[in-house]
Structure 1
């Protein structure tokens, strides 16, 4: 019986193929191969039988070397070194049990990654060459990196996009662009966008909206306008996110008229932007004391089927207070009480501050009595305004009885309306 010659795993397929094609049984071929290695060079060169095996032997030897390299590489991937921190050990122990070995191997190296000793792109390239990952492996690794909050996620994603094994689609590019935008890394985002186009991906409305939002936050109004116009020129649908991103760009640039005009354009198409966009425009008008603009926005909010809360009302009160129209601000507060909205301390403080500027002490005290009757107790901000106001006027003694009454309520477990000195 022929003794089998030791072969690497990858050589068995080669042996079987050669043996089948030459009508030689695999055991006989292995014996011939073994004999070939033991005979002298002269016999190898002159014997027709051995000479015909040259190409087969060369192929087997090449496969053997490749198998040795792969085996060594896999062993290196398994070994992450003995010097790791307790935090790293903890993170490694929490890797999902169902994660594949190839993914765990990479995750261990990422968790223990040291920028002083390693280069991430080289590490990932080595992993790809050794482990032959598929898209599911990449996604599994990225999900785990995101869960750990590891800052290497962006670098891993950028590398993956250029790898055929990842099978990148346009949403993958969009996600990375959005992540770079959130980290204010505009140049990186633009580079990825350019790489996406160079690889033949067609820009869609979602990707372009992400760019509008990025340029808006960065204060590049002209670029935001260019991208927004590109959405229209390409005939892509302009949804509420696209409109909202461009409205916010105008708000951040202080161009409230253009922001409101674009808002009207979207509403004419029955496209209503998000609640935060309306609030941002209302806040901008309120800070300027532009009561007409603030009231228009407050009305628009209701037309967009958004129920105003106490914070929307506080912004409208701010607009009237800054414009010196405390009576209208008080009317907003009364409307809040009528419809059953909770009156927060911010609304009360704004109105009290307006009364102080207009020196309307009686109206301030009347407001406090009305609130008290409704069981509404002023909190810290309002109390500080009242205390400062009374001390400045020197009328603390005149409101001593009120203070005493409120102090009694406080002792009974309720918050005092006015603070004592």
Structure 2
């Protein structure tokens, strides 16, 4: 009978347990060509102290995980955790959850525990999925161990999306090598590498700063010969933005538009922010117009990014115009937007125009709050007008203390 290492998931995921093979029973499990040895049953044994893969012949009386009653000698924390196990989970899953909560290496390795559970409970795919969901919701460190172990279990009936979920998990942690090992295991086990999986890799490479790899993976998606969806395009647009090449991202948006594929609001917002923060007002205006052409109604954040682009350049007239257009569209101005317009006036040293702007706001009952007041205070300090600074701060303080 065969024994394999759970925590390594047969080395496909590059973890630290060697593979252990024993026995001579005729039942053999399917194993893929990356692993040059056969695994013949579901028994699991970790030898985490070993530094390399080992093939060991063991006797049939090899000790298994000690599946003792998890309800004995509990700490207060363990007892409380057990009471929170969802009652809707199957009895199989509840039993394993109790064992996980009370897990101790004195009883055996964690993969021994999972192997014992499979032998005793004969779980089905629904049990695995329920267990994984609960562990993920709890942000449990055992989630990824169970997820990787399950991939080689016949009862889990693994599919391509199960591998993709693990890639996403590693992507959130910026663990590029682990994700690449998962992708390699997926290929070696003859699962199709489709657009969804490659898009996950684009996102992972992009967030980790491997912009060239993200672009190469995106090109692999194109070679699949399938129409690209908005997720794949959007992921690559975000990759270009992170790489400091928003113009390439904008070109992809135009390609999407030609194919009548609409990007999400967050993609437009990220591109607009990239142009805005760099002071590229023309680029920001193009994206802002594209947002409206795409049928997306601008909100105060998108409008604020356009105003900021003009503010960075000190184009007070354009900043004021964008501010007024926002209000005409029925969008309530925030103190941040007021502060950006004032900052644009400050860069052009247009104090009278700024004061006129504030008078107009006061007539329309728009209060100058903390951030805008700070811009004014800093400006007045530069001018050496101490009394005006004190007045602004006093007025702000009194406005904050007024009853609503």
Q: Are 2:306 and 1:333 equivalent residues in the alignment? A: no
Q: Runs of at least 4 residues of structure 1 off by over 6 A?
A: 399-408
State the Cα distance separating 1:257 from its structure 2 match: 2.0
Whole-angstrom CA distance in 2 between matches of 1:81 and 1:93 = 11
State the Cα distance separating 1:381 from its structure 2 match: 0.9
Per-residue CA deviation, residues 167-193 of structure 1 (Å, 9 max, x unaligned), is: 111111111111111111111111111
Per-residue CA deviation, residues 263-291 of structure 1 (Å, 9 max, x unaligned), is: 11011101111111111111111111111
What's 2:376 paired with? 386
Whole-angstrom CA distance in 1 between matches of 2:97 and 2:400 = 58
Is the 2:369–2:396 contact (alpha carbons within 8 Å) kept by the matching residues of 1? no
Whole-angstrom CA distance in 1 between matches of 2:295 and 2:286 = 15
Whole-angstrom CA distance in 2 between matches of 1:225 and 1:401 = 55
Q: How does 1:22-421 map to 2 (within 5 A)?
A: 76-80=66-70, 82-114=72-104, 118-397=108-387, 412-413=402-403
TM-score under structure 1 length normalisation: 0.76
What's 2:58 paired with? none
1:404 to 1:261, Cα distance in 2 relative to 1, 3 A: closer
Whole-angstrom CA distance in 2 between matches of 1:105 and 1:192 = 29
Aligned residues: 343
Is the 2:67–2:116 contact (alpha carbons within 8 Å) kept by the matching residues of 1? no
Whole-angstrom CA distance in 2 between matches of 1:194 and 1:126 = 28
1:267 to 1:127, Cα distance in 2 relative to 1, 3 A: same
1:399 to 1:243, Cα distance in 2 relative to 1, 3 A: closer
TM-score under structure 2 length normalisation: 0.79
Higher helix share: 1
State the Cα distance separating 1:130 from its structure 2 match: 2.6
What's 1:66 paired with? none
Report the structure number with the largest CA radius of gyration: 1
1:252 to 1:115, Cα distance in 2 relative to 1, 3 A: farther
Whole-angstrom CA distance in 1 between matches of 2:299 and 2:80 = 45
List alignment gaps of at least 5 residues for structure 2.
1-60
